[in-house]
Amino acid sequence: MGYFYICMSTMSFLRVIGYFAKGHSLSKEIIKTRKSLEKSYISRISRMTEKSKIEFETLIRSFINQSSLRPHELFDLNLSSGLTASGLLVTYVVVLMQLKVSESQHDSI
């Protein structure tokens, strides 16, 4: 029965890591897009109307603090938070296994 839980937690762990990796790659793409918009803005600023400048600046600002995946505005879902969560999961499984072993040893005495 313990092996079933280990397999299920491992599968869940791998699925979560995939989500975190996608979130991290999306964050990188958002940063690239913002930098590209800034370069474009700088190269075209002399030819823009005031209205266009304001619209362009607003567009760039929308990419400054943008996190691609931010569940309930609580945390950024990226690779580093994924590694932290995976460490937490592994620790939890190890503690549960140790409790199960000590319980079975205590029952056999």
Burial (CB < 10 A; 0-12, 13-18, 19+), residue 20, is buried
If you average pLDDT over residues 24-50, what whole number do you get?
Answer: 87
Confidence tier at 43 by pLDDT (50, 70, 90): very high
Give the lowest-confidence range in 12-21, 32-41, 67-76: 67-76
Average pLDDT, the chain: 79
Q: The tokens of 23 are what? A: 């979130």
Residue 75 per-residue DSSP state? -
Has residue 51 got a pLDDT over 60? yes
If you average pLDDT over residues 27-52, what whole number do you get?
Answer: 89
Give the lowest-confidence range in 23-37, 44-58, 69-83, 95-109: 69-83
Q: What is the pLDDT of residue 50?
A: 92
